[in-house]
Amino acid sequence: MSIVIRRLEDADLGAVVAFSLAAWAPVFASLEGVLGPKVYGLLFPDWRSAQAKAVEATCRAAENEVWIAVVGDRPVGFVAFGFIDEDAAGEVHMVAVDPAHQGAGVGASLMRHAIAEIEAQGVELAVVATGGDPGHSPARALYEKLGFEPLHLVRYYREWGSP
């Protein structure tokens, strides 16, 4: 399988949103299992709509660089990144791969490309964040394979009426 990485074009956005939602469906199912249906429902009443808007906004943000992986003539993955803290670090904001192409090196190719673009700007630090739930374990494995060091953070949730 030949993977071509190129900049996102406006015509790609619909495909990027569609495969991103498919890629993240297991992640949101995992979050529901971890959080329970009540807290999950409060946090993500309509995750598909919210994520579609978030992907579109991230891809359209002028300050972000957005690259896609193409197999044949079809977009199958994307990575969006930008610079933070007065360009002290490059931060990967989003990365997703079409489920039909996961495990084939698409995500690694996109992340390597993002890292190379960040480094080419003279920035010596790259940052990426992800969840600690089981649904995010493939992302954590990829980032660690690429040399990212985890810093474990904890976020707590409490619904009203709980002890």
The token duo for 88 is 């002290």
Collapse the DSSP code of 51 into the 3-class scheme (helix H, G, I; strand E, B; otherwise coil) and give the result.
Answer: helix
Per-residue three-class SS string for 101-149: HCCCCHHHHHHHHHHHHHHHCCCCCEEECCCCCHHHHHHHHHHHHCCCC
pLDDT for 160 = 86
Q: For residues 143 and 104, what is the distance between their CA atoms, to the nearest angstrom?
A: 15
The angle subtended at Cα 127 by Cα 76 and Cα 42, nearest 5°, is 75
pLDDT for 86 = 84
Q: For residues 10 and 4, what is the distance between their CA atoms, to the nearest angstrom?
A: 17
pLDDT for 162 = 57
Four-way CATH pick for 3-145: 3.40.50.300, 3.40.630.30, 1.20.1630.10, 1.10.40.30:
3.40.630.30
Q: For residues 72 and 90, what is the distance between their CA atoms, to the nearest angstrom?
A: 29
The token duo for 103 is 């495990």
pLDDT for 161 = 74
Q: For residues 126 and 91, what is the distance between their CA atoms, to the nearest angstrom?
A: 6
pLDDT along the chain (163 residues), means of 10: 94 98 97 95 97 98 97 96 92 98 96 97 96 94 96 90 63
The model's pTM: 0.93
